[in-house]
């Protein structure tokens, strides 16, 4: 009886370990890179017309991207964070968005800053906040 109970405990432990380790497996969305090879969405810049500071990291767990099958409609809610001050982050986007052809529509300054841009038939809204020495950027982009 004792050996049977011991065996059941090991089987239960093995099943539990399988669930735990499979839960840690990556399920990151993959997209085609420049050479056709799959690229993790966290490594890609899905909206190349939006500049991102070089040291900022993409938060794939909070971000959302939708693209229609034809590619005619593409919308996203992207989250980034990095080690720049609030002022440096705002200045980066104010300069680089214009360099990429975006037109500043308006600026809302509150606890953070919201920058709204337009380019062709697209709109982009950037919400920039700062906490614990890091800046956080939420980018909402889609058709006008």
* Same structural domain, 137 and 119: yes
* Same structural domain, 117 and 53: yes
* Same structural domain, 125 and 83: yes
Cα–Cα distance between 105 and 84 in angstroms, integer?
Answer: 24
What pLDDT is attached to residue 45? Answer: 64
* Same structural domain, 50 and 33: no
Percent above pLDDT 90 for the chain: 60
* Same structural domain, 123 and 54: yes
Query: Which residues, 6 or more positions from 100, have their beta carbon under 8 angstroms from its beta carbon?
Result: 49, 50, 51, 119
* Same structural domain, 129 and 84: yes
* Same structural domain, 36 and 52: no
Per-residue pLDDT tens digits for 56-111: 999 999 999 998 888 778 899 999 999 999 999 999 999 999 999 999 999 999 98
Cα–Cα distance between 82 and 80 in angstroms, integer?
Answer: 7
In which domain, by residue range, is 18 found? 1-40
- 115: number of Cβ within 10 Å: 22
What pLDDT is attached to residue 7? Answer: 52
* Same structural domain, 104 and 63: yes
Q: What CATH number corresponds to the domain at position 88?
A: 3.30.310
* Same structural domain, 59 and 120: yes
* Same structural domain, 21 and 78: no
The number of distinct structural domains making up the chain is 2
């Amino acid at each position: 009886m004792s050996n049977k109970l011991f065996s059941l405990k090991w089987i239960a432990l093995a099943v539990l370990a399988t669930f735990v380790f499979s839960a840690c497996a990556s399920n990151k969305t993959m997209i085609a890179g420049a050479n056709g090879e799959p690229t993790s969405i966290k490594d890609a810049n899905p909206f190349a017309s939006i500049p991102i500071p070089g040291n900022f990291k993409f938060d794939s767990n909070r971000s959302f991207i939708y693209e229609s099958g034809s590619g005619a409609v593409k919308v996203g809610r992207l989250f980034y964070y990095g080690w720049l001050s609030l002022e440096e982050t705002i200045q980066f986007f104010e300069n680089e968005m214009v360099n990429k052809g975006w037109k500043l529509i308006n600026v809302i300054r509150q606890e953070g800053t919201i920058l709204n841009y337009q380019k062709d038939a697209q709109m982009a809204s950037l919400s920039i906040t700062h906490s614990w020495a890091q800046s956080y950027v939420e980018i909402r982009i889609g058709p006008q």
